[in-house]
Amino acid sequence: MRKPPATLTLNPILERQGAYPLLRLDERREELKSKGARLFDFGAGDPREPTDKKIRDALSNSVPEVSQYPTATGKKELREAFAAWMRRRHGISLDPETEITPAGGSKEAIFHAPLAFLHHSHERRGVAYGTPGYPVYERGTVFSGGESMPVKLACEDGFLLPTEKIDPEKTRILWLNYPHNPTGARASLSYLEEVSEFCRRHDILLFSDECYNEIYEGDPPPSILEVTKERTLAFCSLSKRSGMTGYRSAMMAGDAELVSALKKLRPSIGAATPSFIQEAAIAAWNDDAHVEERNRVFSERRSLFEAFLERANLDFTRTGASFYLWVSVPGGDDEAYALRLMDEGIVVAPGSAFGSGGEGYIRVALVPSVEECREAVGRWEGAVRGAG
């Protein structure tokens, strides 16, 4: 008789971590869709405005007859376009040859970056990051042999990561993310200066996830590179800025020595994004008008929801940055509240999906159309009245 197959042995990290948190929301969403329910999806941070025509044209006009591997460092024109944007937007001068390298989206860049600087044999291999927060900071840490060191963020501190809660004797890397996912919190230049000085004093590498830097009202959020490039990297993406989530295009920039290490790492991971994607990215970094239009649309949605939340006496974090609203739920059970909203066809992300400190909140991603937002607000308002 044939022996039954042996149990497949997995990397123990996969078994400990289980499913990616937001996958569970996707499964529930698909279940409701299969039953024909009309859904208003505020769960995933995936905007639905059409990508600007100039960007799409740049891609379609660049698809070659013969496809070849792109280099890991990407096209010089792409790095130059990003450097030009950094000068316009942040007043920063970057060397396209030594201080910039591309990635296939910020998620994989964030996940892979610790591999260049951590090893399980290192005495100091801690990685500090805020919680609630983007789950990839933790996952990139543990898969690279690092020690996960989450720091709880508090509403009373504006969800700013407190450096006094970081152990400098253990910490090798500190992640910042402002504007913040999931709370939308913003960081001032003075705060970034304080964190940078703390990291400089304790020889900690400072990594800044700036995926949402271009989605804001009022004063533009600063980049960590406005403070320093020393032992520092900024991770910038076109996903949210230019509506290119499916294109997978991001940039890593800062300290030349750190960038050099990433350049050594990345050929082992894969090539850069395809050449035609790079051409689309060049068009995106070279244009700011489409970003202004996208911000106008997000602002309209934000105003609509903020007015409703005020009428409903629901507390939320008012920041005018990112396209997220971080809402405190009555009774404190975020998962139960999210399920009640699902009964109304409204999909939101429970705060607990983003780690410790997210309990009692829901994240509302302002990605449906303005008309859909109005209809969803009407349903939510009806649910609030019914509960009252």
| Pairwise CA distance, residues 254 & 251, whole Å | 10
Residue burial 252-274, b: 16+ Cβ < 10 Å; e: rest: bbbbeebbebbeebbeeeebbbb
Q: What is the pLDDT of residue 1?
A: 59
Edge-to-edge strand ranges of the sheet holding 126-131: 100-103, 250-254, 232-237, 205-209, 171-177, 126-131, 147-152
| Whether the Cβ atoms of residue 232 and residue 255 lie closer than 8 Å to each other | yes
- Tens-digit pLDDT string for the chain (388 aa): 566 677 788 888 887 776 655 566 667 778 888 888 899 999 888 988 999 999 999 999 999 999 888 888 999 999 999 999 999 999 999 999 999 999 999 999 999 999 999 988 899 999 999 999 999 999 999 999 999 999 999 999 999 999 999 999 999 999 999 999 999 999 999 999 999 999 999 999 999 999 999 999 999 999 999 999 999 999 999 999 999 999 999 999 999 999 999 999 998 887 778 999 999 999 999 999 999 999 999 999 999 999 999 999 999 999 999 999 999 999 999 988 998 898 899 999 999 999 999 999 999 999 999 999 999 999 999 888 877 6
In the numeric block, which tokens belong to residue 163? 């450096």
Does residue 81 contact residue 281 with C-beta atoms inside 8 Å? yes
pLDDT at 22: 54
At 294-349, the pLDDT tens digits run 999 999 999 999 999 999 999 999 999 999 999 999 999 998 899 889 889 999 99
Give the CATH fold of the 12-50+290-387 domain: Aspartate Aminotransferase, domain 1 (3.90.1150)
Please tell me the predicted confidence (pLDDT) of residue 40: 94
Angle among Cα 353, 359, 341 to the nearest 5 degrees reads 75
**DSSP 3-state of 251:** strand
Domain ranges in the chain are: 12-50+290-387, 63-287
Report yes or no: 125 and 149 within 8 Å, Cβ to Cβ.
no
Alpha-carbon distances, residue 347 vs 19, 38, 50, 336, 337 (angstroms): 19, 11, 22, 12, 11
Residue 23: per-residue pLDDT: 62
**Which pLDDT score, from 0 to 100, does residue 272 have?**
77
Q: What is the pLDDT of residue 36?
A: 87
Say if residues 217 and 228 touch (Cβ distance below 8 Å): no
Q: Tokens 């591999």 sit at which residue?
A: 115
Q: Which of 184, 124, 119 is nearest to 155 (CA)?
A: 184
Tell me which residue has tokens 């996952």.
139
User: Do the beta carbons of residue 363 and residue 182 sit within 8 Å?
Assistant: yes
What integer pLDDT is reported at residue 2 of this predicted model?
Answer: 66
Amino acid at residue number 286: N
Tokens representing residue 304 in the block:
């609509």
Give me the DSSP letters along 91-111. -----TTTSEEEES-HHHHHH
Q: How far apart are CA 222 and CA 335, in angstroms?
A: 34
Q: Using alpha carbons only, how large is the chain's radius of gyration in Å?
A: 21
CA distance 290 to 59: 16
* Contact status, residue 199 vs residue 205, Cβ threshold 8 Å: yes
The pLDDT, as a whole number, for residue 21 is 55
185 Cβ neighbours under 8 A, 6+ residues apart: 153, 158, 159, 160, 178, 179, 317, 319, 321, 326
Q: Which fold has domain 63-287?
A: Aspartate Aminotransferase; domain 2 (3.40.640)
- Closest among 382, 388, 332 to 358, alpha carbons compared: 332
pLDDT value for 11: 86
- Pick from 113, 102, 123, 142: which is nearest to 275 by CA? 102
